[in-house]
Amino acid sequence: MMLAPKVDMNIFETILARRSVRQYKARVVDQTILRTLLEAAVRAPTAMHQEPWGFIIVQDINLLLQLSAIARPIFLEQIKQQALHNNQKLEDFNQTDFNIFYNANTLILICGKAAVPFVEADCWLAAENLMLAACAMGLGTCIIGSAMPAFSIAKVRSMLAIPADYTVVAPIVVGYPDDEITPSKRKSPLILANISEVTGP
């Protein structure tokens, strides 16, 4: 059994500290650390103990650039008819040399068996475990939703050796942050109901 690495944050501090990181150093995440992140991922809750996940790790920079070049225009085309296409945050995607993986040198694809019940929920729970573990170890992560449309293309599936019975659920880049991670504001919890036991009139 793999021993947990020593970290400087407790679990709640890690939850509060986690951010989506979009600037990364060139430093490569080594395989021992990646293995630790995957061990954290597979400790996630799983419906009926199916454990439907599988993982693909990409650390080939040229392949990541190829994937970015394929995925970026597909993503732009999909949002062209939506209100999102006016969002200033998406301006970078119009640049032909924009890397949708933010120059991170590691991409982890959490894949799920297509026919398993609750597969997406299980894989996203695994993703949260992985990202929290990465944060506690001083690493940054970011979910690359803009790449998702490309993962259904046969050419891309072949490039990434995605098995026929698996689908990509959570694409996550991992790396060492190249800038200070600043806090982001979040809304207070929206409590739609708080139902307590009624003790009488």
Q: Is position 201 within any domain?
A: no
Q: Is position 102 within any domain?
A: yes
- Least confident range from 28-32, 146-150, 195-199: namely 195-199
Q: How many domains does the chain have?
A: 1
Q: Looking at the predicted structure, is the pLDDT value of residue 8 above 70?
A: no
Q: Is position 185 within any domain?
A: no
Global pTM? 0.90
| Residue pLDDT, tens place only, 146-193 | 999 999 999 999 999 999 999 999 999 999 999 877 777 889 999 999
> What mean pLDDT value characterizes the chain?
91
How far does Cα 133 stand from its chain's mean position? 12
57-90 burial by CB neighbour count: b if 16+ within 10 A, else e? bbbebeebeebbebbbebbeeebeeeeeeeeeee
Residue range(s) defining the domain that contains residue 55: 21-175
Q: Looking at the predicted structure, is the pLDDT value of residue 87 above 70?
A: no
CB atoms < 10 A from the CB of 189, how many? 6
Q: Is position 47 within any domain?
A: yes
| Residue pLDDT, tens place only, 114-145 | 888 999 999 999 999 999 999 999 999 999 99
Q: Is position 1 within any domain?
A: no
Q: Is position 88 within any domain?
A: yes
What's the CATH number where 71 sits? 3.40.109.10
Q: Is position 16 within any domain?
A: no
Q: Is position 99 within any domain?
A: yes
